[in-house]
């Protein structure tokens, strides 16, 4: 059995998960969302074994979407890229601060934040500085 693995990615252009959900609804309707990235993951089997993409908004990881499939996408420049097909269900997670990075990064399941309970998913996230301080104290 292949172990599960996640990835994390900066969500550029969106302030919060609701912005990403609205953009995906407008762009993809009820179909799975698709995010195209330049590099093809070498650990594809682990991502497809139940992995998710965890979205980082303004330095705070706040939501995830399950990765359904990877598909090749050829750009106008003829370069092959990776299309991540994503479940439309955007799940809010406990806010965890993350430093800026380029591209995407693998995320081990042990390092992934927990899903928020249904009622808490609508709460405003903590300001990044407070979330970072709590995380540093081990209280995330």
pLDDT digits (tens, 9 = 90+) for 37-96: 999 999 999 999 999 999 999 889 999 999 999 999 998 888 999 999 999 999 999 888
Q: What is the dihedral of CA 20, 74, 31, 125, to 10 degrees?
A: -20
Q: What's the whole-model pTM score?
A: 0.84
Work out the pLDDT band at 125, boundaries 50, 70, 90: low
Q: What is the dihedral of CA 119, 52, 108, 57, to 10 degrees?
A: -70
- Name the average pLDDT for the chain: 88
pLDDT at 140 over 80: no
């Amino acid at each position: 059995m292949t172990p599960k693995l996640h990835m994390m990615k900066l969500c550029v252009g969106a302030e919060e998960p609701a912005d990403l959900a609205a953009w995906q609804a407008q762009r993809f309707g009820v179909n799975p969302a698709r995010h195209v990235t330049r590099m093809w993951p070498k650990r594809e089997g682990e991502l497809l074994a139940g992995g998710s993409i965890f979205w980082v908004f303004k330095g705070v990881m706040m939501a995830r979407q399950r990765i359904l499939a990877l598909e090749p996408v050829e750009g106008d420049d003829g370069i092959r890229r990776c299309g991540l097909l994503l479940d439309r269900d955007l799940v809010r997670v406990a806010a965890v601060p993350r430093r800026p990075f380029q591209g995407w990064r693998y995320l081990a399941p042990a390092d992934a934040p927990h899903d928020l309970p249904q009622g808490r998913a609508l709460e405003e996230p903590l300001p990044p500085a407070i979330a970072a301080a709590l995380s540093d104290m081990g209280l995330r």
